[in-house]
């Protein structure tokens, strides 16, 4: 595959930071050109048609080196896996012939001069039946690269030239679109941009094996940033595995169960769920009126004046129960600490997106109240872009921090996190300030300086985390992960 180079709107080869990866954005025209180049090279090596070379490349997920190696070792198997019956017969196959002594195997037509078509397997069908068959496979089943011959259990695949000749134009257009889709889906170094309506694909050569030590964030030409590894929106600096664990944890009902186990108990008599809403340990079930002790769950009448010791149940068992509950409380409290901050930045980012609407009006107002041109007031939009980026980064720092083991490195990470958080709040405050004619020059300079500072602090945090992942410096709390 051709050298991917770099998407110059992001960075140049010599300017790449530790938290950045090389990638290139591909247009549909680029994808068609790449397919043709790949097939042409196989044609030159083995002297076969473009259609056959393309079919074999699809079977090998567009891995040219793997195809060459396999074809040299066992050409018959490669052809069979690609659905090619006979490479020489297929290449010299006639187009459409009138029916002479054969019947269509679908409609059994025997009318004279009915146009027929057959692959090298010689399963002959009239063009009209072939047309309907292809339309069903393309439009209803969404197939393209693996449309097999209509013959019963025939493994041969209908190649692209045959589809172009036999299918309706509207079916062939969708067929080509599906082929383009499958080219990216089957390609290990390409992925479609997940933004709604986007037609671009991104090529990135970061292997799956590197996802434990890097977050391959790419940016499409449509402006959408996403992780090439898992397809989620940009979640730097949290690696894919921890991101998925965190999202699953946030959605899992286990946290609700933890809260219930910490804050509620079952009535010993009727098994109703009871929540303690006061300080007194003397509990009365509203359903069955049973009176019991919240600490040991024993009958309240047996406690007398020394109820707070719970002597009848033994100090050891009572202490174990309290220790278990305290452990659950501590675990829940720790989770809520990180989750609340994660959710807060997520909500703030959504609210900051609303700033774009306000910013447009503020830019117009600033232009009217000062001598600044429309280009010169664009710093407000840049500031909002930076603010939203920082909110999303901070959001994921709390997901990562939840899994980090305590230590000096974690302390340094939290210091960088704190610096970025403080600077982000300061920038947010500056963007909310009212516009007064006299203060506009000073406010503009403050916002410019703070935007640059916030962006630099974000990059420092991302680069430091990326370097730590690459060097294996970070240690994760495996008890939380497992």
Sign of CA pseudo-dihedral 298, 301, 307, 310: negative
User: Cα–Cα distance between 97 and 118 in angstroms, integer?
Assistant: 9
Q: What is the DSSP letter of 140?
A: I
Within 8 A by CB and 6+ apart from 253, the residues are: none
Q: Which residue has the tokens 């896996």?
A: 81
Angle at 196 between CA 353 and CA 204, to 5 degrees: 95
Active site residues: 280
What is the DSSP track for 19-76?
Answer: T---EEEE-HHHHHHHHHHHHHHHHHHH---HHHHHHHHHHTTT-HHHHHHHHHH-HH
Query: What does the alpha-carbon distance between residue 190 and residue 2 come to, in Å, rounded to a whole number?
Result: 13
Q: Taking the alpha carbons of 243, 20, 345, 388 in that order, is the dihedral positive or negative?
A: negative
Burial class (CB in 10 A: 0-12, 13-18, 19+), 105: middle
Of the candidates 363, 373, 366, 358, which has an alpha carbon nearest to the alpha carbon of residue 437? 366
If we measure between CA atoms, which residue out of 392, 387, 388 comes closest to residue 234?
A: 392
What's the per-residue H, E or C state across 285-306? CCCCCCEEECCCCCEHHHCHHH
């Amino acid at each position: 595959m051709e050298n991917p180079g770099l998407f110059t709107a992001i960075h140049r080869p010599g300017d790449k930071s530790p938290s950045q990866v090389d990638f290139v954005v591909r247009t549909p025209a680029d994808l068609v050109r790449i397919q043709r180049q790949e097939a042409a090279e196989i044609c030159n090596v083995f002297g076969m048609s473009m259609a056959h070379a393309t079919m074999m490349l699809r079977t090998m997920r567009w891995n040219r080196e793997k195809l060459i190696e396999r074809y040299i070792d066992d050409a018959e198997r490669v052809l069979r896996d690609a659905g090619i019956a006979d490479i020489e017969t297929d290449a010299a196959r006639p187009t459409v012939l009138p029916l002479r002594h054969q019947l269509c195997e679908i409609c059994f037509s025997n009318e004279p001069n009915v146009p027929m078509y057959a692959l090298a397997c010689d399963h002959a069908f009239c063009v009209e039946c072939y047309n309907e068959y292809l339309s069903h496979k393309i439009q209803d089943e969404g197939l393209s690269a693996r449309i097999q011959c209509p013959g019963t259990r025939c493994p041969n695949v209908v190649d692209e030239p045959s589809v172009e000749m036999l299918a309706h134009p509207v079916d062939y257009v969708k067929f080509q679109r599906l082929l383009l889709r499958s080219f990216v889906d089957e390609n290990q170094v390409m992925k479609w941009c997940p933004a709604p309506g986007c037609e671009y694909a991104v090529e990135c050569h970061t292997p799956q094996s590197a996802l434990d030590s890097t977050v391959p964030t790419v940016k499409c030409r449509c402006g959408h940033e996403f992780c090439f590894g898992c397809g989620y929106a940009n979640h730097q600096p949290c690696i894919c595995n921890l991101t998925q664990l965190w999202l699953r944890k946030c959605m899992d009902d286990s946290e609700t169960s933890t809260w219930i186990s910490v804050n509620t108990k079952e009535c010993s008599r009727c098994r109703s769920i009871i929540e303690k809403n006061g300080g007194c340990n003397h509990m009365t079930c509203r359903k069955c009126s049973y009176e019991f002790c919240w600490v040991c769950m024993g009958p309240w009448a047996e406690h007398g004046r020394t109820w707070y010791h719970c002597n009848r149940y033994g100090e050891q068992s009572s202490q174990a129960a309290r220790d278990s509950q305290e452990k659950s409380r501590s675990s829940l409290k720790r989770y809520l600490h990180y989750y609340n901050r994660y959710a807060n930045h997520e909500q703030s980012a959504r609210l900051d997106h609303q700033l774009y609407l306000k910013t447009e009006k503020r830019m117009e107002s600033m232009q009217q109240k000062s001598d600044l041109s429309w280009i010169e007031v664009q710093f407000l939009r840049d500031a909002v872009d930076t603010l939203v980026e920082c909110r999303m980064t901070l959001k994921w720092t709390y997901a990562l921090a939840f899994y980090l083991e305590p230590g000096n490195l974690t302390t340094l990470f939290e210091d960088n996190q704190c610096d970025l958080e403080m600077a982000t709040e300061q920038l947010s405050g500056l963007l909310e300030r009212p516009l007064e004619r006299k203060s506009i020059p000073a406010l503009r300079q403050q916002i410019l300086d703070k935007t640059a500072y916030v962006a630099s602090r974000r990059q420092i945090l991302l680069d430091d985390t990326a370097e730590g992942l690459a060097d294996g410096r970070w240690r994760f709390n495996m008890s939380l992960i497992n």
